Amino acid sequence: MRLATWNVNSIRSRVDRATALLDRHDIDVLALQETKCRDDQFPFEQFEAAGYEVAHIGLNQWNGVAIVSRVGLDDVEVAFPDQPGFDKNAGDSLLDSPVVESRAIGATCGGVRVWSLYVPNGRSLGDPHYAYKLEWLSTLRADAARWLTEDPSAQIALVGDWNIAPTDDDVWDPKLFEGKTHTSAPERAAFQAMLDTGFRDVMRPFAPGPGVYTYWDYTQLRFPRKEGMRIDFVLASPALADRTKDALVDREERKGKGASDHAPVIAEFTD
């Protein structure tokens, strides 16, 4: 199985790029984040014409996640159990009954349980969205740990835009991000807690060291200056991680007019 994850930053603007990516890399399953459209606006037809099924959840012009698969799309689940929510109209506090945003969708594809995840950004360390981000990650970690406890041989991929650079090697200038989100100690601890459950970052063995990024801001010529961050990941359960044959970042997809500010991460697993 060849699995890719990509924060597409508007699927309606980049559907041609997405279908070309499927063909270029012979992708079996593609997880998308930031589709930025409602379900009725999603370009299902283009993917279906290419031989893929699609599961998507999008509530408005923000967020939105999808799974595109040609190896089956079963047991679709919108949101992981007890997924926290956030209401941007709630002012400075989270609601007791918050709005669950379109940030997680799961489906079984070719025997692998794939979750397309768009982790909250956090905005700033003092923002309620930051507390929401940490709560969101904590709940996901608890669910992921339970899935492995219930079935240590489970084939699970937690993929997407995690909005965390877990080490200093994952950001071009660590000092620039001091006191900001994405590199704070609580965020990095939350990411490490996910790894401590047994899930593995499958790309690192194939691309060690600094300079391997998946995101470059549109401003200040960040991409040509190689000033990026690694915040998009394929985290695989132990049984699935043991099947990893290769993993890479398609940096070429960040080039050219109309590119997303993220590049796809692609992992290949043996049968």
Note the pLDDT tens digit of each residue in 143-184.
999 999 999 999 999 999 999 999 999 999 999 999 999 999
Kindly indicate the confidence band of residue 87, based on its pLDDT and cuts at 50, 70 and 90: confident
Provide the domain limits for residue 37: 2-269
| Distance of alpha carbon 30 from alpha carbon 267, whole angstroms | 10
Burial of 119 (0-12, 13-18, 19+ CB in 10 A): buried
Residue 126, pLDDT score? 92
Residue 25 marked in a binding site = no
Q: Is 132 a catalytic residue?
A: no
Closest CA to 212 of 201, 222, 226: 226
Q: What is the CATH number of the domain that holds 212?
A: 3.60.10.10
Instruction: Say which of 56, 213, 232, 262 is annotated catalytic.
Output: 262
Instruction: Say which of 56, 132, 161, 215 is annotated catalytic.
Output: 161
Instruction: Say which of 118, 130, 213, 215 is annotated catalytic.
Output: 118
Residue 161 marked in a binding site = yes
| Distance of alpha carbon 47 from alpha carbon 90, whole angstroms | 37
To the question of pTM greater than 0.85 for the whole model, the response is: yes
Residue 264: left (phi > 0), alpha (psi -120 to 50), or beta?
Answer: beta
Q: Is 262 a catalytic residue?
A: yes
Mean pLDDT of the chain: 95
CA 112 to the chain's CA centroid? 16
The residues that bridge with 32 in the sheet, in sequence order, are: 6, 66
Q: pLDDT digit string (tens) for 180-226?
A: 999 999 999 999 999 999 999 999 999 999 999 999 999 999 999 99
Q: Is 218 a catalytic residue?
A: no
Q: How many domains does the chain have?
A: 1
Residue 94, pLDDT score? 53
Residue 9 marked in a binding site = no
